[in-house]
Structure 1
Amino acid sequence: MRLRIFTEPQQGASYETQLAVAKAAEDLGFDAFFRSDHFVKMGDVTGEPGPTDSWITLGAIARETSRIRLGTLVTAATFRYPGPLAISVAQVDQMSGGRVDLGLGTGWFEQEHTAYGIPFPSLGERFERLEEQLAILTGLWGTPAGETYSFSGDHYTLAESPALPKPAQAGGPPIIIGGAGAKRTPRLAARYADEYNVPFHQVKETGEAFDRVRAACAEAGRTKPLVHSAAQVVCCGRDEAEVKRRADAIGRQVPELRENGLAGTPGELVDKIGRFGELGAERIYLQVLDMHDLDHLELLAAEVLGKV
């Protein structure tokens, strides 16, 4: 089982704060540093100093790290045109030496769209756009050097694109598709994903979502392996007082976190991570909501990372 650190910078984190978390995660032995891709804070926080662009941030972090993988959970298809997105992600992949994963989704948070002038179409259209973007990204990255790429869809058209730049990773960075939808998400994951992620669901529901994607892969005749993963908010302490202190810092209740996330002592976390592993999960994204508490990362590294 690989453990990845997953952050929510829109809640209030400068680039310097994100870099500190990424470097700590690398030094402590975690597999990856991931961040959300949002422009407006959620809940009762100020969100100051304000949002940071995910791919600009990851490009900078790429030059300050050497081993840890970098990515998004998840970039919204509503935020960028697929051609420029392919260029940005390929460039960060080059800057990192081939350490990028791309999580891509429909986009769901209407408020951030209206706050920054981004169109927010219906859910059906957002899925259509996501599917076309997946086709375009994989098409551009998979086009042999010296050849061009064209695409004609309902929402995007590309004509004789040079399909440059090429990512460092042959064929492009691994693509992560997440969510627990019953039909469209499994179909897209079976067709395009290298990894399927279930965010913030309990163990039973996560297993059911994994099974739906496995069934979609079988129906599509997919033989390429698919990594299964889960994302869970994390709140770990050496004793109950430390667990409560960390829960209070993120505005959550310990009983709720134990039920819906990874909360408790290191032993409790190891046991629950093991339950996800029994379902076939190979990676767990630990959502760290207090990005200033680097001692939390040190505890997770010392008491959890080596035991899973």
Structure 2
Amino acid sequence: MDLRIFTEPQQGATYDTLLTVAKATEDLGFDAFFRSDHYLRMGDTDGLPGPTDAWITLAGLARETKRIRLGTLMTAATFRLPGVLAIQVAQVDQMSGGRIELGLGAGWFEEEHKAYGIPFPPEKFARLEEQLEIVTGLWATGPGETYDFHGTYYDLTDSPALPKPAQRKVPVLIGGHGATRTPRLAAQYADEFNMPFASVEDSERQFARVRAAAEKAGRKGDDLVYSNALVVCVGKDEQEIARRAAAIGREVDELRTNGLAGTPAEVVDKLGHYAEAGSQRVYLQILDLSDLDHLELISSQVQSQLP
């Protein structure tokens, strides 16, 4: 099972903090560094010093890391026009030498749209579907050819479909709990399906829906990677677990139920249950970005125990 580090910088983090965590991610042998794409804090935090932009951050990290994959969980389709997003991701992929992955979602947090003057249209899911078609279509257009798309929300004519990513295909991640439309979109466009903050049972159920949708669309269910995103809180003993839970404003019992919390042995065991449900990769949501010892403990005593 792959373990990836997943951060929420809108809660309060500078680029330098994110760079430190990304370099630790690389040095400690994790597979990837991902970040959310949000512009407004959530919950009881001041969010200082303010938000950082996901793709500007990843562009910087692309030049300052060498091995780890880099990406978003999830870029909001409401934030960027699809042609612009395709250019941004392709450029950052070139800058990284082909290590970028794009998680793309419909966008859901209305307050941040209001706070920064970003339109929040009612038909978000339909716009997401057109964005997926356009972004992947632009990248797939052959050299010297042009790309056209005439949809309900977006219209492209004679696009040169440039630049191209360094990778032959940038992996696209789609995720969510929806029972019908989300599996259909994943089956059509995704290389990876991500189930965020869900139980083992709910994950297994949703993975089965995506597999069925993929087969209905003429793909093999195993064509996709299946993953989870879960908050993580690991400690050598109960005192350390409680200290780390308190630092992120959470209760230990709640984290044990809804996330990956406990001793390394407990967390390894729970990851095993997710693996049995079909999960091949887990994004570890790290909420205290100052606690690099936490990453070291996960690397040395959790990651090292996984097959």
Q: Residue 106 of structure 1 corresponds to which residue in structure 2? A: 106
Report the residue type matching 2:201 in the other structure.
K
1:182 to 156, 174, 179: 179
Deviates more, 1:16-25 or 1:277-286: 277-286
| Cα displacement (A) at 1:141 | 0.2
Report the residue type matching 1:25 in the other structure.
T
Query: What is the CA–CA distance in structure 1 between the aligned matches of 2:132 and 2:305, rounded to whole Å?
Result: 36
Q: Residue 70 of structure 2 corresponds to which residue in structure 1? A: 70
Is 2:209 the partner of 1:231? no
Q: Residue 5 of structure 1 corresponds to which residue in structure 2? A: 5
Identity value in percent: 68
Query: What is the CA–CA distance in structure 1 between the aligned matches of 2:208 and 2:239, rounded to whole Å?
Result: 38
Q: Residue 125 of structure 2 corresponds to which residue in structure 1? A: 127
**SS at 1:158 equivalent:** strand
| Cα displacement (A) at 1:146 | 1.0
**SS at 1:280 equivalent:** coil
Query: What is the CA–CA distance in structure 1 between the aligned matches of 2:203 and 2:304, rounded to whole Å?
Result: 24
**Is the 8 Å Cα contact of residues 34 and 72 (structure 2) preserved in structure 1?**
yes
Q: Residue 194 of structure 1 corresponds to which residue in structure 2? A: 191
Query: What is the CA–CA distance in structure 2 between the aligned matches of 1:100 and 1:236, rounded to whole Å?
Result: 28
Is 2:247 the partner of 1:249? yes
Report the residue type matching 1:98 in the other structure.
G
Report the residue type matching 1:272 in the other structure.
K
Is 2:88 the partner of 1:91? no
Matches within 5 A, 1:46-85: 46-85=46-85
Is 2:145 the partner of 1:147? yes
After superposition, what is the alpha-carbon deviation per residue over 1:148-187, rounded to whole angstroms, capped at 9, x for unaligned? 10100000000000100000011x3100001010111000
| Cα displacement (A) at 1:215 | 1.2
**SS at 2:78 equivalent:** coil
| Cα displacement (A) at 1:120 | 0.7
Structure 1: any 5+ residue segments left out of the alignment?
A: none
**SS at 1:95 equivalent:** helix
Report the residue type matching 1:188 in the other structure.
L
Q: Residue 205 of structure 2 corresponds to which residue in structure 1? A: 208
Report the residue type matching 1:149 in the other structure.
Y
After superposition, what is the alpha-carbon deviation per residue over 1:82-133, rounded to whole angstroms, capped at 9, x for unaligned? 00000000000000000001000000000000000111112xx101100000
Q: Residue 218 of structure 1 corresponds to which residue in structure 2? A: 215
Structure 2: any 5+ residue segments left out of the alignment?
A: none
Q: Residue 304 of structure 1 corresponds to which residue in structure 2? A: 302
Equivalenced residues, count: 305
**Is the 8 Å Cα contact of residues 106 and 125 (structure 2) preserved in structure 1?**
yes
Deviates more, 1:151-160 or 1:214-223: 214-223
| Cα displacement (A) at 1:221 | 1.7
Q: Residue 156 of structure 2 corresponds to which residue in structure 1? A: 158
Is 2:30 the partner of 1:30? yes
Q: RMSD of the TM alignment (CA)?
A: 0.7
After superposition, what is the alpha-carbon deviation per residue over 1:242-285, rounded to whole angstroms, capped at 9, x for unaligned? 00000000000000000000000000110011111111111000
Q: Residue 45 of structure 1 corresponds to which residue in structure 2? A: 45
**SS at 1:102 equivalent:** strand
| Cα displacement (A) at 1:222 | 1.2
Query: What is the CA–CA distance in structure 2 between the aligned matches of 1:36 and 1:12, rounded to whole Å?
Result: 12
| Cα displacement (A) at 1:67 | 0.1
TM-score computed with the length of structure 2 as normaliser: 0.98
**SS at 1:243 equivalent:** helix
Q: Residue 271 of structure 1 corresponds to which residue in structure 2? A: 269
Query: What is the CA–CA distance in structure 2 between the aligned matches of 1:222 and 1:153, rounded to whole Å?
Result: 25
Query: What is the CA–CA distance in structure 2 between the aligned matches of 1:108 and 1:209, rounded to whole Å?
Result: 20
Query: What is the CA–CA distance in structure 1 between the aligned matches of 2:242 and 2:144, rounded to whole Å?
Result: 58
**SS at 1:23 equivalent:** helix
Q: Residue 117 of structure 2 corresponds to which residue in structure 1? A: 117
Query: What is the CA–CA distance in structure 2 between the aligned matches of 1:176 and 1:160, rounded to whole Å?
Result: 27
**Is the 8 Å Cα contact of residues 71 and 101 (structure 2) preserved in structure 1?**
yes
**SS at 1:281 equivalent:** coil
TM-score computed with the length of structure 1 as normaliser: 0.98
Query: What is the CA–CA distance in structure 1 between the aligned matches of 2:181 and 2:116, rounded to whole Å?
Result: 28
Runs of 4+ displaced beyond 6 Å: none
| Cα displacement (A) at 1:21 | 0.3
1:285 to 280, 283, 302: 283
